[in-house]
Homo-oligomer: A and B are copies of this chain.
Amino acid sequence: MSDTSNGSPVVKEIPPKEADLSAWYTAVCLKAELVSYAPVRGCVVLRPYGYGLWENLQRDLDLRFKATGHENAYFPLLIPESLLIREAEHVEGFAPEVAWVTHGGQEKLSERLAIRPTSEAMIGTMYAQWVHSHRDLPILINQWANVVRWEKATRPFLRTMEFLWQEGHTAHASAAQAREETLRMLDVYRDFAETVAAVPVISGVKSAGERFPGAVETYSIEAMMPDGKALQSATSHDLGQNFARAYGISFTDVDQQIKFAYTTSWGMSWRMLGAMIMTHGDDRGLRLPPKLAPLEAVVVPIVRAGDDRAVASARELAAHLQAQGRRVKADDRDESPGWKFTEWEMRGVPVRIELGPKDLDAGTVVLVRRDKNKGEEGAKTVVARAALSGALSAALDAVQAALYEQAQGQLARRRYLVQERDEFLARCRNRDGFIEIAWCDRPECEAQVKAETTATSRVLMPLEGESPACVVCAQPARVRACFAQSY
């Protein structure tokens, strides 16, 4: 599959997705030129085609953040050790993952600097300076940034030492406002995952064992991968007054009392792209939802010997669609149409526009949808050139909807509400999908499930009249819990 002669694996072929999801995934990411492995352990380069996905994610999420009242800012990369360790649980959670700067130029530093693994410590310190009165609240800030968490393994998008993300950090005058913000942003993530990345998710609160270090509650959205494992795709944390206390974010309230603020943080990283790739791709390569695709469509001219009208016409068509704001390009390279079809299918472009001599004569084009298989109904339609703009729009909407619907179907088929302990443990072990039970919500019980199956609770939801006893340990049930093995 790969050739590492020049230090970088060159992917020759994509193995079947069903046979080996992990090999398929890596091969697709490399062959579609989303990423390259970098010459530093645990890191990847996000290549232009991959960065195009990130830009589309960023543009869409950024609008949602602004629409909910947030502003962007930028905080320093390096955090003095003495700041990082102020919140005890937080530092305990992150210390094993921190990259430390110890020297600047020739000089040894008197205090080590952490490369941010997340920015609560730095941002909390600044908020303490900025907040004095209840009139200074809420503070609603987001940061687009790189972070570093020491990792041995490398899996493009899913597990890398450095990754790109956004981290929102807000401070509020009351616990209720902080909780409301936490849930609002969770819902922004859920809606983004479903309507833009076309990835259905379940969302809910985390168990104590799966909580962000230092948080009062952590909420997450979880997608299901084709191997039945869960992929946590974004988190939103209600930090209560823990960080406000540790960093001194206090304010004079309306009643003249000095109080600690309530803070939240929430983040989505390029991991979301990994979830999207794994959910939709097939044996031919990527299948990208139009709203994230760097190219919505590609125009492939089919040139008959002695008739080169198609190339000029393809360029014209692409320019015409670009002028309407479409992300389209004409592939005018000197390669066969068949080669180009395979190439753009592998790269997951949602719609292919074919333009051959017959089309030129008839004033038509052929639209081919990437989400459908060859010969499938609706895979290929002939459209009059005058109607192309509307037809392309409709096709893109249809691809977006179809990808979501297929993924939704897969999720629904692998979601089990289980009553029996043995069935529960077996399904967890087998990676059957999202295995839901009435649960006691005790760390000891979760630890036991993990020891026996490697599965953990992904999110907790309210009970809906299930058995009053925990399916695992028979103690009183407090929540419905969704268990799964996870990435």
Contact of A46 among B38, B73, B164 (CB under 8 A): B73
Interface size on A, residues (CB 8 A): 59
Which residue on chain B has the smallest CB distance to residue A294? B71
| Complex: A54 Cα to B143 Cα, angstroms | 13
A146 near B38: Cβ-Cβ < 8 Å? no
Specify which chain B residues have a CB less than 8 angstroms from the CB of A6 in the assembled complex: 128-129
CA distance A100 to B95 in the complex (A): 18
Distance (whole angstroms) from the CB of A363 to the closest CB of chain B: 32
Contact yes or no, B100 A101, CB < 8 A: yes
* Cβ-defined partner of A77 (8 Å) among B105, B128, B148, B150: B148
Q: Within 8 Å of chain B (Cβ to Cβ): is A325?
A: no
In this complex, the member of A78, A79, A161, A164 whose beta carbon has the largest number of chain B beta carbons within 10 angstroms is: A78
Q: Counting CB contacts under 8 A, is A126 at the interface? A: yes
Which residues from B are CB-within-8-Å of A115?
77, 101, 115
Residues of B within 8 A of A77 (CB): 115, 146, 148, 162
A97 interfacial contact with B, CB 8 Å: yes
A97: B residues at CB distance < 8 A? 105
Give every chain B residue within 8 A of A76 (Cβ-Cβ): 38, 40, 43-45, 162
Asked if A379 CB lies within 8 Å of chain B CBs, one says no
Q: Does A390 contact B (CB under 8 A)?
A: no
A294 to chain B, nearest CB (A): 9
Chain B residue contacts of A122, Cβ below 8 A: 38-40
* Chain B residues within 8 Å of A74, by CB: 45-46, 51, 54, 164
Residues of B within 8 A of A55 (CB): 72
Instruction: Encode contact with B along A68-107: 1 for CB under 8 Å, 0 otherwise.
Output: 0001111111111001000000000001111111111111
B residues in contact with A252, CB < 8 Å: none
When A78-B40, A105-B150, A150-B105 are in contact, do A73 and B48 touch as well, CB less than 8 Å?
Answer: yes
Q: In the complex, what's the smallest C-beta–C-beta distance from A39 to chain B, in angstroms?
A: 5
A7 close to chain B: CB less than 8 A: yes
Tell me, yes or no, whether A408 is within 8 Å of chain B by CB.
no
B78, A43: Cβ atoms closer than 8 Å: yes
| Residues on the B chain within 8 Å of A112, using CB | 103
Given contact pairs A78-B40, A162-B78, A102 touches B102 in the complex (Cβ within 8 A): yes
State in angstroms the CA–CA spacing of A318 and B78 once bound together.
39
Interchain CB contact under 8 A, A99 and B72: no
Residues from chain B with a CB closer than 8 A to the CB of A150 are 104-105, 107
Q: Which positions in A face B, CB cutoff 8 Å?
A: 6-8, 36, 38-40, 43-48, 50-52, 54-55, 71-80, 83, 95-107, 112-113, 115, 122, 125-126, 128-130, 141, 145-146, 148, 150, 161-162, 164
Q: List 24 A-B contacts (CB under 8 A).
A: A6-B129, A7-B129, A36-B126, A39-B80, A39-B125, A40-B80, A43-B76, A45-B75, A46-B73, A50-B73, A51-B71, A51-B74, A77-B146, A77-B148, A78-B148, A78-B161, A96-B105, A98-B104, A99-B104, A99-B113, A100-B101, A101-B115, A145-B146, A146-B146
